[in-house]
Structure 1
């Protein structure tokens, strides 16, 4: 199996909640379904935000902190402080959630989803269709599944994609895989195909690293054409 797009690794049965769900109900959903976060949707199933365990914990921590300070004039606070104060007073999912939600689409590559998670420092992405309706959710754990492929399965996939990508017979390239590390051996006609083979292999889902031991035919013909034969006056 090839895990190349979000639709291949996402969970379709999504635990979600509405805007008006109470703090306790949100906490109960997280506990009962053993998830660390869930999307908040409106009546049309459009994702309007995401709630995580961190949001709930911040609510409790900020509540104690702000109650200890007594009354504070919010307009004089920084934006971050006003957000924290609002979280402390939050009682519904809409008030607790982080917005806007960072989402993915089913056709996105797994690598793109992983990059979005890293850039936005989130652990899950609600997956939405062309109309922004919730159709699934993908987590960091889902994305890491690509590295759980058996070595033999990965070897066959790399061999298939490299030989088809280069347009060469399968016997031209030897592929071995050990713990996800791909090693390429063989002899190719063109220098540029050696580098291209490594690039193709590196982009196969599950490849941890690529060791390129391919060789190529000496480019004597090209060198001769560049230099050209010596002429006579």
Structure 2
């Protein structure tokens, strides 16, 4: 198998969300785009975390309120629910290195950043599976 790089398989441009966006907006974005993770950006457009479907689910359960109590509304943002520790790769990272990182940290995707740290794409386990299927189908 030839050497592949993240740039060969990543999804670009990446869908991102601002850290102050409502969690409901983020959840709707995940669902409507059929994705499981969103890079979260600050006011300067820099990566500050990643929001996963799991983060949304946990935050929603942790803040469950009595639906009959109008005063009990809790407003959550993407920044409130996101995972702060984010691992990234560049477009020039080999797919093998990206897979090793994902396995080591038990994660299903990585934001792809440029030299300035701007998010330019995402590489996920689905992208890797597509590559494997493509390669195995050619044999």
Normalised by the shorter chain, which TM-score bucket?
0.7 to 0.9
Per-residue deviation, 1:134: 0.6
Using structure 2 for the length normalisation, give the TM-score: 0.84
Distance change (3 Å), C-alpha of 1:149 and 1:40: same
Contact 1:90–1:96 (Cα < 8 Å) also in 2: no
In the alignment, does 2:135 pair up with 1:136? Answer: no
Contact 2:22–2:75 (Cα < 8 Å) also in 1: no
Distance 2:78 2:137 in 1: 46
Distance 1:150 1:61 in 2: 41
Distance 1:135 1:152 in 2: 29
Contact 1:42–1:48 (Cα < 8 Å) also in 2: yes
The match for 2:13 is 13
The match for 1:4 is 4
The match for 2:24 is 24
Which protein has the bigger helix share?
Answer: 1
The match for 1:121 is 106
Could you list the runs of 5+ residues in structure 2 that have no partner in the other structure?
Answer: 66-73
Distance 2:111 2:31 in 1: 19
Q: CA RMSD in A?
A: 2.3
The match for 2:48 is 48
Distance change (3 Å), C-alpha of 1:140 and 1:90: farther
Where relative contact order (Cα < 8 A, 6+ residues apart) is larger, the structure is 2
Distance change (3 Å), C-alpha of 1:19 and 1:148: same
Could you list the runs of 5+ residues in structure 1 that have no partner in the other structure?
Answer: 68-88, 155-233
In the comparison of the two structures, how many residue pairs are matched? 132
Matches within 5 A, 1:196-215: none
Distance 1:150 1:120 in 2: 26
2:91 to 106, 124, 127: 106
Decide which structure has the larger Cα Rg and report it.
1
